[in-house]
Structure 1
Amino acid sequence: MKLVGMVDPGREPGRRRIVIGVVVDDRVTPLTDVDDFYADLPHWLERARAVRHGTVPLAEVSLAPPVPASARVLCVGLNYRAHAAEGGFRAPEHPTVFGRWTASLSVDGVPAPVPANEPGLDWEGEVAAVVGARLCDAGEQEAEAAVLGYAVFNDLTARTAQKLTAQWTLGKNADRSGPIGTLVTADEAGSLSDGLRLVTRVNGEVMQDGNTRDMIFGVSELLSRISATLTLHPGDIVATGTPEGVGYVRTPPRLLRSGDVVEVEVDRLGTLRTPVTDASARSGA
């Protein structure tokens, strides 16, 4: 089953409300407010599974991230050995977790602006896991069962800001730098440990070609370890890390600039497309 966030098409102009919709072929059926959806997931998932036909053409929908504004976005760095090595890091013994704000998220097709003080943005194609149940001190089996689904994610990074200090927060929260794709439920997507191929392309050229089976910490271990410190709630996102092939380690470094288009494609999850624009587009952030 495929789920999207969308602006309520029946809402009065100027009164924006985000709802969850069920995608069937090239059409979508709105379900309910995004907060209500995650507050009573069993009920709304049952309703969603009963949807057989979409009511609104997907092309006419204004998409939004498929999570509530209150969600935590927890990203995992250096979770592929080859990516850690290309940046000069040793493979971590513990997950390297940093945070994003939901305000930095965007969706398929929305341009990502390059901040004026950056030479460009770097790509980091990933798979994001969306939590579907409360997790506190969870074991790996409980954590695996709590995954609602997966989505393609691009952890676009402002490297200059990232490298100013040992804290990565600023460089990982540039305006509209966290595009996320359609949420595919876990029963349809399968397990990341089975191996989903992840390919990142810039202007059609392959930059990353990895596989989720190569993650150092799998999804269940990530969720379990995170829940030992902070309680996870339905709608929280855990971005599972990027494989090798990012831009800043290349000779010479290659970054995304205005006019470029970056695409991240993941088996069973689809393709996430992000055009890149200049800093003038930040006025609408």
Structure 2
Amino acid sequence: MQIVVLDGYTENPGDLSWDGLEELGDLTVYDRTPTEFIEDRIGNAEMVITNKTPISRETMKRCPDMKYIGVLATGYNVIDVKAAEEQGIIVTNIPTYGTAAVGQYTIALLLELCHHIGHHSQAVHDGRWENNIDWCFWDYPLIELAGKTMGIIGFGRIGETTGKIAAALGMQILAYDTIKKETDVAEYVELEELFQRSDVIVLHCPLFENNKEMINRESISKMKDGVIIINDSRGGLIREQDLADALNSGKVFGAAVDVVSTEPIRGDNPLLTAKNCLITPHIAWASKESRERLMSIAVENAQAYINGQPIHTVHA
């Protein structure tokens, strides 16, 4: 059986192994696949593994031997799932692999906004402490989180993990989700109440058409002055110009985002020049431990398909 990985580099830049997939068939791994080469590289392969390389209805028609698409991520919007169902192609994703990593990263972003540790460390290395008239200095307000309220939009596995860590720091946790589950971590509230009561707002929800740019001028106006906004979910949840304006006016004290609307980020993204905005390059998921879990689940998905009992399938 021919197996093709179209864009394996971000999952495995060299510190993991593809052996699990190699044991299942004749494996070819490409680090990256430009759009114009997608169909040629799929060729006659029955199993195709992709992360962010799109597979369209047209590609499926032109690659009729393709029977399985394994997405190396939880999100699968790069696949025309409806077309796959119509053509009898199984599509699978990787659930739950990054829960601990993303929850931890969310808190790391928040703590960096509260203390700007990297900035102050660099200031010391630049000689500012050595030459300072006082025994200490700081360039940003230093924020204590105990007693403050975190509102989490999207309270699935990752949202609850973030909430548990924040609660351990002494924060009160509010949650908004369309599906409510039993939890002793958070108080469920409606979205408008979450906006009004939260000192910190964290986005942990998928991106759908009905929540696209949910963080915008109108919703920000309902928030507390000096609110902090964290997003390591999907960039499209934020109208970036509106957030930049709120940061520059001081309505929003600070923001930290690991995702933006177009990735890689474009040079004209307004958040690049906004005040007190941390931006990291979509790496919340990317700890080695998280990627090892992802690889293991990808192999399990492929093996289950070969056995005729596919798991973690997704549908339109």
Q: What TM-score range do you get, normalising by the shorter chain?
A: under 0.3
Structure having the higher Rg: 2
Q: What TM-score, normalized to structure 2?
A: 0.21
Q: What TM-score, normalized to structure 1?
A: 0.22
Q: Judging by fraction of residues, say which structure has more helix.
A: 2
Q: Judging by fraction of residues, say which structure has more strand.
A: 1
